[in-house]
Chain A
Amino acid sequence: MKEGLPLWEVFVRAKGGLSHRHVGSVHAADPKMAVDAARDVYTRRMEGVSLWVVPSAAITASDPGDAACLFEPAQDKVYRHPTFYVVPDNVKHI
């Protein structure tokens, strides 16, 4: 089979001040065409003010199989949350 067009991940900034958010992907030959395609596919209804495209191959993802050892250690650290600490009701602004 012939190799198709490369895949790009698309990120849209919905409005100034917000971070770019992943919305999906497009196939395109080069970055410029990827931006154009992303614009046509993902921002037809003013969904954004800025686009990023990143070659999908450039993304390194964590292994779902490692999720437990990566994220479970945070579970027993309730003291990282403000609600862990008891401050009397009459003490304000804390």
Chain B
Amino acid sequence: MDTVELSKQNDVSAIAADDAGRHAAFEARVAADEFIEPKDWMPEAYRKTLIRQISQHAHSEIVGMLPEGNWLTRAPSLRRKAILLAKIQDECGHGLYLYAAAETLGVSRDEMTEALHAGRAKYSTIFNYPTLTWADIGAIGWLVDGAAILNQVPLQRTSYGPYARAMVRICKEESFHQRQGYESMMQLANGTPAQQRMAQDALDRWWWPSLMMFGPPDDNSPNSAQSMRWRIKRDTNDKLRQKFIDVTVPQAQALGLTIPDPDLKWNPARESYDYGAIDWAEFYAVVRGEGPVAKDRIKARIDAWESQSWVREAAMAHEAKRQNKAA
């Protein structure tokens, strides 16, 4: 009995020593800005964190199609309709690149879909706001895609190879999204008084949710330090948020629109804008799924998945039949 227990214990400590060695080697590689590839050894926590982050990102791309899809049939011109359709197609592609990257970590597409539908997986809170007017489509491209770009550009150098490569593709496609949004806002801002009011109203409603896209403030972002060390996050939430504000305020001024923040003020000492307090209570409510349209979003995804399951089944049945014939 004793000897068995003893040898077991030896095994355990041998594994622990082996693990500690691999851990140290892994941390050193990541610290040296090397890329980790699917077949490389990685700590379980790194794998899990990445699966959560990448699938969450993928879900955001997919759910993000819904608020824009809402205006597809009501776009004001054929030109705008073609542009919006092309953008939504891109977002779908982004979701697929990211799901594929997550699958290299050993999670299946169906597991991820299931997690989203069951409410276990999160997606960006921004998509739980409704698109009430056509101007919202311009505001989303300008602000939401603009914020996404700032988040995504540093991720092109993230430590996990497949994720980094997906981000390179995505960033290349993202630029048109922001520019078409800004162009659309420009048209409204230079239009009739009613169009100008519509543009201002869209900015009023999307500004604060866009700032929240960067996540909770640094002092309330518990996993940030770990993620920064692992290079799966390359800038802090607050730093990216500040950068977004600093580049976006002049863009709003060029449109003749007003940022809905009375405390917004250029701070020459910091060479940055000071800004007002963010309503984090609202943010956490939206995270918990209390956004105005959160339930509609998930219902739309589930309905699409279920009502189209026959297409997947028919395709598989057809292939099985073909293989039977060939055999």
Contact = CB atoms under 8 A, between A and B. Distances in A.
Interface residues of B, number: 26
B161 A87 contact: no
Contacts of A77: 82, 86
B176 A82 contact: yes
Interface residues of A, number: 21
Interface string B145-181: 0100000000000000100110000000001101110
Given A17-B35, A17-B164, A19-B165, A85 B182 contact: yes
A79 B34 contact: no
B251 A94 contact: yes
A17 B251 contact: no
Contacts of A19: 165
A91 B39 CA distance: 45
B250 interface: yes
Contacts of A81: 176
Contacts of A84: 176, 179-180
A65 interface: no
B17 interface: no
B178 A79 contact: no
Contacts of B247: 92-93
Interface string A65-94: 000000000000101111011111011111
B176 A92 contact: no
Interface string B201-233: 000000000000000000000000000000000
B60 to A, nearest CB: 21
B86 A85 contact: no
Interface of A: 13, 16-19, 50, 77, 79-82, 84-88, 90-94
Interface of B: 34-37, 39, 79, 82-83, 86, 90, 146, 161, 164-165, 175-176, 178-180, 182-183, 186, 247, 250-251, 254
